[in-house]
Amino acid sequence: MSQNDCLHIDSTNVLPFVDRERIDEKAELARAVARQLERREGPGSDFLGWLDLPVAANGPELSRMEDLAEQAGQDSDVVVVIGIGGSYLGAEAALSALCDLTSGPEILFAGTHLSSPALSRMLRRVEGRDIRLVVISKSGTTLEPAAAFRLFRDLMVRRYGRENAARRITAVTDASRGALRSMSDEEGYETFVIPDDVGGRFSVLTPVGLLPLAIAGLDVRALLGGAAAMRERCAGADLWENPAHLYAAARSALYDEGYWVEVLSSFHADVGPLQEWWKQLFGESEGKEERGIFPASCRFTTDLHSLGQYLQDGRRELFETFLMVDGGQPDLVVPLDAAEPGGVDLDRDGLAYLVGRSLDDINTKAFEGTRNAHTDGGVPNLTITVPTLDERVIGSLFYFFEKAVAISGRMLGVNPFDQPGVEAYKKEMFRLLGKPGA
């Protein structure tokens, strides 16, 4: 796999469960849906701005984000990013995957829940440190981030005074409407715009994701470059050469055969938050009208010691997608168990047969063994492999999954770009809280 490809899909272990012809039959539907998306037609067509973000995002606003990132690096020890759902998951996913490449202030995420102990700990964590806030919300009234913003805004005003606090607060919000836009105009916060035609879970390549990543010191232009390369690759007509079409077609064929749960499994600890971003992207996009594939995730080998039994022998309604990373730390090897350096291996833990082998090699064999065992146990599976974790690769993964779920959702017969069910719990919660008009 060349660096230019960034991503490879192996569908070999789907074919024992679904004939290749069944997947081939999905090719024309995938192409038709892709053409519909490119023409901005069909359900949710008002929310297709994400399709062009890899190119469109390289404008003056990106330079302004980089300028703010430079300033934050000079005057801040920590930047608190306040948002929920699509307003933080993409940035958190990239920051975790690329943690070895960051160089800016520490990034903390708030507004992701209503847990008072966790918020209290975070407020204590920033005591005595120079901080900035980046608040991300289209409306400014979503309960979890709005409550966190009040708490941190109060801290900022008490610490810096109202005017100086305003210089340290940045809002990513609507261009002209909403409570956060009004507050930003009133207080003088610097602002960046969430495009009207991009939904929250597709917003990682807007300032929603790019600003926190730039502040962290990551190369957001390389990230956009990886997404742009994947955009070109996902425009091809050949099903087996177009990763987004192949992934969508394989998922659709498996769904037709009764596999309605997908587990995204990884053997790389740093991609855990990327799996969480994937779950929101696919769960909110496909779970409608009593249809859709339920997205779950496992972090191996850890979860092999908790969920492994179910995956191996439980109900056979699930399939698995492995997300694998080739690059690692090859110099981290199993040492001798010796009383003295260079001595005889005492083998008190039974690992003498692994001495000198890298953890990467051992982890790869754990993956291969798991994949073989799950296939033999009746679990269809795909493997998505990337060569390493850098900005370009992460950008390609973001775009690949977004394009795939757009096609997959349309193939299921739902609108992948709305989320009507999300409002149900809010209505009941606001009624119980006594919100006026609820």
User: How far is CA 122 from each of CA 105, 132, 166, 314, rounded to the nearest angstrom?
Assistant: 15, 14, 20, 40
Residue 158 shares a structural domain with residue 237:
no
The tokens describing 152, both together, are: 């941190």
Residue 283 shares a structural domain with residue 175:
no
pLDDT band for position 5 (cuts 50, 70, 90): low
Would the CA dihedral through 100, 104, 110, 111 be positive or negative?
Answer: negative
- How far apart CA 292 and CA 385 sit, in angstroms, is 25
User: Is 284 among the catalytic positions?
Assistant: yes
Residue 325 lies in a domain: yes
Residue 26 shares a structural domain with residue 63:
no
Residue 212 shares a structural domain with residue 169:
yes
Residue 131 dihedral angles phi and psi, to the nearest 5°: -130, 160
The tokens describing 367, both together, are: 């993956």
pTM (predicted TM-score): 0.94
User: Do 406 and 37 meet the contact criterion of CB atoms below 8 Å apart?
Assistant: yes
Residue 95 shares a structural domain with residue 160:
yes
Beta-carbon contacts of residue 43 (< 8 Å; ≥ 6 apart): 410, 414, 415, 416, 417, 418
- Domain count for the chain, please give it: 2
Which residues constitute the domain of residue 100? 49-218
Residue that is last in its domain, among 192, 218, 244? 218
Residues in the chain: 438
pLDDT of residue 4 exceeding 60, the answer is no
Residue 100 shares a structural domain with residue 188:
yes
pLDDT band for position 416 (cuts 50, 70, 90): very high
The pLDDT tens digits for 288-336 are: 999 999 999 999 999 999 999 999 999 999 999 999 999 888 889 999 9
Residue 213 shares a structural domain with residue 277:
no
Catalytic residue among 28, 70, 163, 426: 426
Residue 418 lies in a domain: no
Catalytic residue among 92, 284, 286, 402: 284
Whichever domain contains 121, its CATH number is: 3.40.50.10490
Catalytic residue among 290, 305, 340, 423: 305
The pLDDT tens digits for 348-398 are: 999 999 999 999 999 999 999 999 999 999 999 999 999 999 999 999 999
